[in-house]
Structure 1
């Protein structure tokens, strides 16, 4: 690895860099840069902050990825839940929370996922002590489901709001989307039951 690198085009002329440098800088680092650029293009700043905050709450390896600053940035995205006073209180709770989590309590050890953390906080009766941390954990658990639901709705909208339905109203579009997204449920409802339901509705 310490020998000078020999490019394929000029095997008789060794370059000024070693094989180690060539593999590390010109290949490995270049691929890492490409992957990082692809991730940055795929996720905007808000999405990146949410993902980093979720990772910082992960209890794996005794909260090895715990980062208070990133968790606080995550909380700031929930403006309705965390005002200025609650953000200050959350900051204090996080300081004692990480000490408590790493103390070696059997109930709080060997946690693998954020869901395990939420369950452990309930079982250890720590929900009231770390109420804001627990709230943030719950919001973190909901986030992937909410994101997937929104993506499903926008994906379905491409099929629903087409040229034939370009002027569809918001209320009708919402009802239409529910039927389309939850088609596995509606397939079990007979057309006769739907017709009877509309016939029995009062005139507006």
Structure 2
């Protein structure tokens, strides 16, 4: 088991056409987002406009949810969907996608290379996730949280807007022992 807590001051923030994007983590660590040589990436974006067009991420799958505000995704010639805070969407990164959002919108993105087994799940205090395969787990909340690892017999207190990363074997149980805001758990199979 290997654990890391990435605090807000270690995140990388850059400008994009519609606001700012903050990279919380990328895997492998030496991967470059601009080179598209990553297995997965977690980021959060803020908006300076109420409309944007998403970049083409052919070869990747995307998980997206608003942390605050509302977001409407429109996938060209496919469908449109309204998302409330903490309501996740999953879609192919190659789909031409545009969005409309409330001015206060902040989103959370998990982008995963095609062929990689992954998931994004929103947990509340008391919820538990059983790790079924060796995996990299991340947990994020806008507020402080306490994560309990049953098999390891440990609890970790994590500050709000920090990313908890855990490499673990199958059989570990990750539960939210305390959280006043939802906890976003991502899982990416090791391999």
Highest relative contact order (Cα 8 Å, sep 6+), 1 or 2?
A: 2
* Higher CA-based Rg: 1
Band of TM-score, shorter chain: under 0.3
Q: TM-score, normalised by structure 2?
A: 0.23
Q: TM-score, normalised by structure 1?
A: 0.22
